């Protein structure tokens, strides 16, 4: 009776779970850019003898440190700007210990915001490439002078800075010391080499000993997750990004509530409020954590 009723074989399709959660696992105030920007722009260090809250960025080569600095500059100035060279792929541009200040005002009234980012060469696999871990540790204590070339090929590129070197700062001021350590990683990277992870853990442990607050920025979230690329509001609904953040937290030891996903400005020619919101969320926490540390001086 039923012969020939079904011309095609019956197939049971596998259930495909959604790539996003029904509700975000972390709350974020969207559309609050003006208030968040004002909070950052009006910040002043807790101690009068400290002019700048110093944020030290470190992480694997190509993670987006320079692009993040550029993006922060865009947000703070309210327009597109390019204070730092950004690298293409895994080719590093940053080869010196360099401090980036953010302009405030114009013309004769031009000054700088009291938050600075210090960048250095990226971490690489093995002991013969990239910035030396001991140099990052010295930088945390303020012993590395501005402009120190972290990989001077004319000499020994693999030796850390020593006290006899002219770039060694024997008497660092409170301004020279790092107040917040920020690890920058890419959500789009398939994995971080175990040797690089060990270096990152090593740096984090030193920061902990010095009681310097430590947090992480996860860049390239739009490239890593299609749902986030379609709509940045999905950032804290994305199961993929949540797992990436949780895995990194477990690998390095940075608490999950100290890891912030962001999208750097790359192809855009105008500011975007959603991009700004994510950057400002991270920036506000840098300021809060750093100021708590400064108050202990």
Instruction: Please state, in angstroms and rounded to a whole number, the distance separating the CA atoms of residues 139 and 203.
Output: 11
Q: What average pLDDT does range 60-66 have in this prediction?
A: 91
Instruction: Please state, in angstroms and rounded to a whole number, the distance separating the CA atoms of residues 266 and 71.
Output: 9
Give the domain 55-294 fold.
Answer: Rossmann fold (3.40.50)
Q: What is the pTM of this model?
A: 0.87
Spatial contact of 254 and 183, defined as CB atoms under 8 Å apart: yes
Q: Among candidates 165, 153, 95, 154, which has minimal Cα distance to 128? A: 153
| Domains of the chain, residue spans | 55-294
Residue 180 has φ and ψ, to the nearest 5°, of -145, 130
30-50 per-position pLDDT tens digit: 999 999 999 999 999 988 889
126-167 per-position pLDDT tens digit: 766 778 899 999 999 999 888 766 544 433 445 678 777 788
Q: What average pLDDT does range 166-185 have in this prediction?
A: 93
């Amino acid at each position: 009776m039923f012969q020939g009723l079904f011309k095609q074989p019956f197939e049971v399709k596998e259930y495909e779970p959604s790539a996003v959660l029904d509700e975000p696992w972390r709350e974020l105030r969207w559309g609050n850019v003006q208030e968040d920007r004002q909070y950052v722009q009006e910040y002043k260090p807790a101690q009068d003898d400290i002019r700048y809250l110093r944020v030290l960025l470190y992480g694997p080569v190509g993670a987006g440190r320079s692009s993040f600095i550029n993006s922060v500059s865009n947000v703070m100035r309210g327009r597109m700007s390019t204070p730092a060279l950004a690298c293409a792929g895994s080719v590093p541009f940053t080869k010196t210990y360099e401090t980036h200040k953010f302009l405030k005002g114009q013309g004769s009234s031009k000054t700088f915001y009291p938050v600075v980012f210090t960048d250095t060469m990226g971490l690489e696999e093995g002991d013969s490439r990239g910035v030396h871990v001991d140099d990052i540790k010295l930088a945390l204590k303020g012993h590395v002078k501005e402009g120190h070339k972290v990989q001077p090929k004319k000499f020994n590129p693999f030796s850390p800075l020593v006290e006899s070197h002219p770039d060694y700062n024997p008497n660092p001021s409170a301004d020279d010391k790092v107040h917040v350590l920020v690890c920058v990683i890419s959500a789009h990277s398939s994995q971080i080499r175990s040797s690089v992870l060990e270096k990152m853990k090593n740096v984090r442990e030193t920061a902990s000993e010095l009681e310097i607050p430590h947090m992480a920025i996860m860049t390239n979230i739009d490239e890593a997750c299609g749902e986030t690329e379609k709509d940045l509001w999905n950032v804290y609904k994305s199961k993929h990004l949540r797992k990436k953040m949780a895995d990194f937290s477990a690998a390095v030891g940075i608490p999950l509530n100290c890891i912030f996903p962001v999208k750097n400005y790359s192809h855009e020619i105008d500011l975007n409020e959603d991009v700004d919101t994510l950057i400002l969320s991270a920036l506000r926490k840098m300021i809060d954590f750093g100021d708590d540390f400064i108050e202990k001086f």
